Structure 1
Amino acid sequence: MDTRTVFLNACNEIANRLDGFKILEKGQRLKKSSLDKDIYFEIYFQSSFRNDSSSILILPHINIYSKILKKWQIEQIKNEYSQGLIFGNQIGYLTPYNNWKEWNLAGLSYEKSINEITENIQQYLFPIFEIFNSKETAIDFLKSNGTKFNQWSEDSISPLDFLLCFSENETAEAFLNNFVNHCPYKGNILKLYEKLKTQNEIDLNYSEFHGADKIKLAFIKGLKII
């Protein structure tokens, strides 16, 4: 069996163990909608072009999107390529592996890898999806906890757009400050905020550092860093 077939077989075996997901791209992408049908969850299985008979890699990622947020982003950020992304990460950073994680599907590793991936999705990713199954639940969680969905998940500024779109500025501001206070490059953020006060034009599609575009949007929307 060629490596691509082994990889896709594994994707489909995992999909068949997960309830409620629509199978897309021959099993490489799984999709499920929230209760209100606006937010949807994706599990994407990445592979490697360097696969061979002894190493067939599979790397699961998750992404959470909103159709309404996509329209909001296109309007607010002026970027027609906006996708409505709320949050995304590689599975390793949301599980006890606490690092970039890949599994080998070659030979005797096949069944063990499928079992481990399925168990990690069910145990660590499904609770995140459950939070976003309701916008109200997601907003409350993000306001209080940021993106610390579990003890391994790190702070991310990614959902700021979601909060600006669906909640009050007070909530988005609380989320922003929680992120800034835990951010290892807090100094860069504070310097950027000060610099923005003197700029006549702000480019939301350029980032001086990771997440700078979100920081600029927060500034434009009048959020204060305390």
Structure 2
Amino acid sequence: MDTRNVFLNACNEIATQLDGFKILEKGQRLKKTSLDKDLYFEIYFQSSFRNDSSSIQILPHINIYSKTLKKWQIEHTKNEYSQGLIFGNQIGYLTPFNNWKEWNLAGLSYEKSIIEITESIQKYILPIFEIFHSKETAIDFIKKNGTKFNQWSEDSISPLDFLLCFSEKETAEIFLNNFVNGCPYKGNILKLYEKLKTENEIDLNYSEFHGADKIKLAFVKGLKIK
């Protein structure tokens, strides 16, 4: 069996153990929709162009999207390529592996990798998706915890526009300040905020550093850093 078929077989074998997901792209992408039909959750299995008979890599990623947020992002950032992304990551960073994680599907590694990936998704990823089955639950969680969904998940500013779109300004401001106060590059954020006060035009689709586009959006929407 060629490497592509081994990879797709693994994707489908994992999919059969996860309830409620629609199988797309021959199993490489799994999709599930929230109760209100607006949010949807994806598990995407990345492959490698370097695969051979001794090394067939599979790298699982997750993404959470909103159809309404996609429209909001296009309107408010003028970026026609916006996808409505709320949060995404490689699952290695959301599990006890706590790192970028690749699994090998070649030979005797196949079954072990299938078990590890499936158990990681069931134990650590599905609970994150469950938080977002209700926008109210998700907003409350993010307001209090940011994106620290478990002990391995790090804080990300990614859901800021989700809060701007669906919650009160005060909630988005609390989230922003919690993020900034715990951010290792807080100084860069504060300098950017001061600089933006003198800017005539602000490019919301350019980032001087990671997450700078979100910081600019926060500024434009009148959020205060305290």
Shift in Å, 1:34 = 0.4
CA–CA distance in structure 2, aligned partners of residues 97 and 176 of structure 1: 28
Residue 181 of structure 2: SS of its match in structure 1?
A: helix
CA–CA distance in structure 1, aligned partners of residues 151 and 121 of structure 2: 16
Residue 42 of structure 1: SS of its match in structure 2?
A: strand
Matched, 1:218 2:218: yes
Structure 1: runs of 5+ lacking an equivalent: none
- TM-score for both structures, normalised by structure 1: 1.00
> Which residue of 2 is the match for residue 53 of structure 1?
53
Residue 201 of structure 1: SS of its match in structure 2?
A: coil
Residue 88 of structure 1: SS of its match in structure 2?
A: strand
CA–CA distance in structure 1, aligned partners of residues 201 and 75 of structure 2: 17
CA–CA distance in structure 1, aligned partners of residues 177 and 11 of structure 2: 39
- TM-score for both structures, normalised by structure 2: 1.00
Deviation track 1:132-174 (CA, whole Å, cap 9, x = no partner) reads 0000000000000000000000000000010000000000000
CA–CA distance in structure 1, aligned partners of residues 17 and 34 of structure 2: 19
Figure out how many residues of one structure are paired with residues of the other and give that number: 226
Shift in Å, 1:109 = 0.5
Residue 214 of structure 1: SS of its match in structure 2?
A: helix
CA–CA distance in structure 1, aligned partners of residues 176 and 131 of structure 2: 19
CA–CA distance in structure 2, aligned partners of residues 59 and 38 of structure 1: 27
Matched, 1:14 2:17: no
Residue 207 of structure 1: SS of its match in structure 2?
A: coil
Shift in Å, 1:197 = 0.3
Moved over 2 A (4+): none
Residue 65 of structure 2: SS of its match in structure 1?
A: strand
CA–CA distance in structure 1, aligned partners of residues 126 and 51 of structure 2: 29
Matches within 5 A, 1:105-184: 105-184=105-184
CA–CA distance in structure 1, aligned partners of residues 33 and 219 of structure 2: 32
- Identity percentage of aligned residues: 89
